[in-house]
Amino acid sequence: MRNANPKWIIAYCLLSAAYCLLFYSHSFAWESREVIRIAIFKGASATVGGDGVSITGVIGNEKIPILSNSELEIKTDKDGLLVNGTSYTSLIADAKESRIKVNGKGYRGRIEALKDNSSLLIINELNLEDYLVGLINHEISSRWPKEAVKAQAVVARTYALYQKKARKDPRYDLESTVVSQVYGGSDSEDELALQAVKETEGEVALYNGELIQALYHSSCGGRTEAAEDVWGKDVPYLRSIKDPHCTEAPNYFWQYEIGLDELSERLRRLDGGIDSISSVSVKKKSRSGRAISISIRHSNGVSDVSGKDFREAIGFEHLRSTDFTVKIKGDSVSFAGSGGGHGVGMCQWGAKGMADDGRTYKQILKWYYPGITIRRY
């Protein structure tokens, strides 16, 4: 750098400073002012706080400053939330420049703690675009081809706004788990995730001018599923389509084996009469080959359960999808399947495959959701 042009050095420093302000500031200065509320914790107790964080306790209509620049333990008691021996109706944590820590993890925006029945409920309220940057690396990898990451940003934004409009619980819009979309706060943000969100800022998928129910899943195993075969409702943009793009998915093929006794125990959650299983068979399949209903023969008769409920009872982490065959071998049951998730909407590994082949994020989205348009919300 001894012979470097001073003007070049100044320009480089200015660009570096601009990048730092953009990426590391508390807000990314989005044009959108859309706010989203995410339930990030449900349990008995949690810690909330951090440097530069102010916490306010609410008792009725009175707001009481509690403490700044430290982490507090919050528990529930019969009257509300207990902090340092005082009971509050709710707690609010704000930070102008830093991030708020909840159980050691960082979050942008503000944190609200409430009592939900006997449990502690913690909600993260933040800008929708900030939320998406903290979501990308929990749903896919930001290191995937950029067009696939941009497709994920658009479907996640659309899904969030659709759920915000449809949700009946006024306290929050989504959860931070697979129940909604997986969101991990600011600790999982990186430059690549930020770029994908910035380059699609505000863009959503619409059908006939309305937000679509932007469902998606890990891997379809070669064919996506129609919404009506999972939930019994025909949705024109959620059809079953042949998909040759997700063959690299680690769950494209999978196997799982479980003992008959353990299987009986798990299925009793669906039907208390199930005992001593002698056979399990797929009774009805969808057009894509997924199990719609399962017939279980046992000592108390025959029980039919839906493929969706069957998979949930055994465990989503074990039965990766409802696209499987089943065999009984001795005192155990063996499943061999393909794909991961419910199979409806965008296949994430398929989106990666399409991006690898040079497709744009808009081409990817229009492939998985036929008939949609994409525009800024």
pLDDT given for residue 11 in this prediction? 46
* pLDDT tens, position by position, 136-193: 999 999 999 999 999 999 999 999 999 999 988 889 999 999 999 999 999 999 999 9
C-alpha 211/C-alpha 161 separation (Å) is 8
Does the pLDDT at position 226 exceed 70? yes
CB 294 within 8 A of CB 283: yes
pLDDT given for residue 27 in this prediction? 54
CB 369 within 8 A of CB 243: no
Does the pLDDT at position 342 exceed 60? yes
Cα 59 to Cα 49, 64, 171, 351: the distances in Å are: 19, 8, 18, 49
pLDDT given for residue 26 in this prediction? 43
Does the pLDDT at position 19 exceed 90? no
- Hey, where are the domains in the chain? 32-127, 134-248+342-377, 253-338
Percent over 70 (pLDDT), the chain: 92
pLDDT tier at 30, thresholds 50, 70, 90: confident
Does the pLDDT at position 357 exceed 60? yes
* pLDDT tens, position by position, 94-138: 988 789 999 999 999 999 999 998 899 999 999 999 999 999 999
Dihedral angle at the C-alpha atoms of 207, 135, 167, 28, nearest 10 degrees?
-90
C-alpha 84/C-alpha 81 separation (Å) is 10
